[in-house]
Structure 1
Amino acid sequence: MQVSDNFKKRAKIKSVELEYLSKEKIFKIIRQHRRELKRYGVKRIGLFGSFVRGENKKESDIDIIVEFEKGRKNFDNFMNTVFLLEKLFGRDVDILTPESINKHLKSYIMKEAIYEEI
Structure 2
Amino acid sequence: MDKEKIIEILRTNRETLARFHVRSLSVFGSVVRGEAKPGSDIDILVEFEPDAHVGLFVFARLQRCLQEILGREVDLATPKALHKAMKQSILGEAVHAF
TM-score by length of 1: 0.78
- Are residues 1:109 and 2:86 paired? no
Q: Is the contact made by 1:41 and 1:77 (CA closer than 8 Å) also made in structure 2? A: no
Q: Which structure's relative contact order is higher, taking Cα pairs within 8 Å and 6+ residues apart?
A: 2
Q: 2 CA distance for matches of 1:33 and 1:74?
A: 22
- Are residues 1:24 and 2:25 paired? no
Letter in 1 for 2:44: I
| TM-align CA RMSD | 1.0
Larger Rg: 1
- Are residues 1:94 and 2:75 paired? yes
Q: 1 CA distance for matches of 2:96 and 2:56?
A: 22
What 5-or-longer segments of structure 2 have no aligned partner? Answer: none
Q: How does 1:18-57 map to 2 (within 5 A)?
A: 21-57=1-37
TM-score by length of 2: 0.93
Q: 1 CA distance for matches of 2:24 and 2:55?
A: 16
Q: Is the contact made by 1:48 and 1:112 (CA closer than 8 Å) also made in structure 2? A: yes
Q: 2 CA distance for matches of 1:53 and 1:80?
A: 27
3-state secondary structure, aligned to 2:37? coil
Q: Deviations over 1:12-63 (max 9, x none)?
A: xxxxxxxxx1101101110111111111000001110111001111001000
Report the count of equivalent residues: 97
Deviation at 1:76, TM superposition (A): 3.0
Structure with bigger helix share is 1
3-state secondary structure, aligned to 1:105? helix
Q: 1 CA distance for matches of 2:60 and 2:21?
A: 12
Deviation at 1:114, TM superposition (A): 0.7
